[in-house]
Amino acid sequence: MPQQVIFTNAVATTLAAELDRLQPNRVFVLTDENTVGCVWPELAGQLPQATVITIPAGDDNKNLATLSRVWQSLQDNGATRKSVLVNLGGGMVTDLGGFAAATFKRGMRFINVPTSLLGAVDAAVGGKTGINFNDLKNEIGTFKEAETVIISTRFFSTLPESELKSGFAEMLKHGLLDSKDAYRHLLASDFQTADAEQQLTLLEQSVNVKRRIVELDPCEKGLRRALNLGHTVGHAFESLALHRNRPIAHGYAVAWGLVAETVLSHIEMQFPSTLLYELAATVYRIYGAFPITCDDYPALLRYMRHDKKSEHGEYNFSLLRDIGDVVTGHACDEETVKTALDIYRDLMHI
Ligand SMILES: NC(=O)c1ccc[n+]([C@@H]2O[C@H](COP(=O)([O-])OP(=O)(O)OC[C@H]3O[C@@H](n4cnc5c(N)ncnc54)[C@H](O)[C@@H]3O)[C@@H](O)[C@H]2O)c1
Ligand SMILES: [Zn+2]
């Protein structure tokens, strides 16, 4: 059965109704040190019996030590397979909480209530759960879908602007994978200043792109790789930034990666140049540019080769023939990737 996703800004009553439907013997709520203060108070009144577990915020804490603390709290407070864990936070909380629930007593049910834009548009939906391990992102995990995902925009007002922009990059990606009409609508609306209802409509459109793809390929055997659009170059930018000791947010890296991979799409698949220029201008306006020179190419190429999507040491990409027309697992040679990086620099005024 496809995962149930509810789009609503009436979160407290919807969550209470879902818990009523699931009839758990105990309810646990996982928050991080930010969401416990800015989100949980809005819902606490509807869940008087819940046990709240709070973990430190940030991806550095998406690790075994934090996971172990969550398992410990579940055990100390009598969680069973009939209990429900509500993950209330960004992607870090839904990833770690989903994994904690998937593994505790061989699996208890969980509900995701994403509170960041990246969490809502990407992490909370699709069944990937997990933690980082030995400096490798998402190294340990499982595919396990939440019982329900409740998606709203009502918690975004306390989200730092950079987090909103970071999540918006995944919406751009979904728009490119969707249809010309949906993409036009997304570019024409200013997500940051849109009202809550408009934001929710845009979010629903965007999340449904991921849902459609995940439904066809839940365990990432093929088509789901379409969702890696922008991520092969994006991950390389992220790694380079980390190596420079100036880390960048994932979404920013994806936005710049989308430009570079749309250039590749133009070279390899005749993706229309007008759309490429428009995307580059949009990304530059929102995110500025990630600065690279040709001296960075060897490192970037190395990172791209090591990306888990690259097979047989080739450079593998999900590319677009046009908006909504994706080709996965397309191999490119090194010279073409370098040319794309040259054109990325031109488009980004570097
Ligand atoms: N499972 C998947 O398919 C998938 C997909 C994409 C990303 N991810 C994972 O998601 C994580 C990134 O997601 P993220 O950016 O949401 O990370 P995050 O959960 O670390 O949240 C980012 C920051 O925003 C804070 N925050 C969250 N909601 C807030 C709110 N309403 N008000 C104020 N502050 C708030 C958090 O405390 C944190 O400091 C990564 O761990 C990534 O690996 C998973
Ligand atoms: Zn991403």
CB count within 10 Å of CB 59 equals 16
Distance 342 CA to ligand 1 centre (A): 32
Round to the nearest angstrom and report the end-to-end CA distance of the chain: 48
Distance 77 CA to ligand 2 centre (A): 35
Q: With a 6 A CB cut-off, is 138 part of the ligand 1 pocket?
A: yes
Chain region(s) in the chain for CATH 3.40.50.1970: 4-159
Question: The tokens 């209470």 sit on which residue?
Answer: 16
CATH level 3 topology of 4-159: Rossmann fold (3.40.50)
**Residue range 82-104, pLDDT digits in tens:** 999 999 999 999 999 999 999 99
87 forms beta bridges with 30, 112
Q: Which residue's CA lies nearest to atom 19 of ligand 1?
A: 90
CA angle 128, 187, 217 (to 5 degrees): 25
Superfamily classification of domain 162-195+223-347: Dehydroquinate synthase-like - alpha domain (1.20.1090.10)
The atom of ligand 1 lying closest to the CA of 170 is: 6
- Return the ligand number nearest the Cα of 210: 1
Give pTM, 2 decimals: 0.95
Q: Which residue's CA lies nearest to atom 13 of ligand 1?
A: 91
Q: Residue 249: CA atoms inside 13 Å, Cβ hemisphere, count?
A: 19
- Return the ligand number nearest the Cα of 232: 2
Q: What average pLDDT score do residues 216-223 get?
A: 89
- Return the ligand number nearest the Cα of 137: 1
**Residue range 187-218, pLDDT digits in tens:** 999 898 899 999 999 999 999 999 999 999 98
Distance 289 CA to ligand 1 centre (A): 23
- Grade residue 221 by pLDDT with cuts at 50, 70 and 90: confident
| The pLDDT of residue 309 is above 60 | no
What is the DSSP annotation of 238-297? HHHHHHTT----HHHHHHHHHHHHHHHHHHHH---HHHHHHHHHHHHHHH------GGGH
Distance 13 CA to ligand 2 centre (A): 30
Chain region(s) in the chain for CATH 1.20.1090.10: 162-195+223-347
Distance 330 CA to ligand 2 centre (A): 19
Q: Which residue's CA lies nearest to atom 41 of ligand 1?
A: 92
Distance 79 CA to ligand 2 centre (A): 32
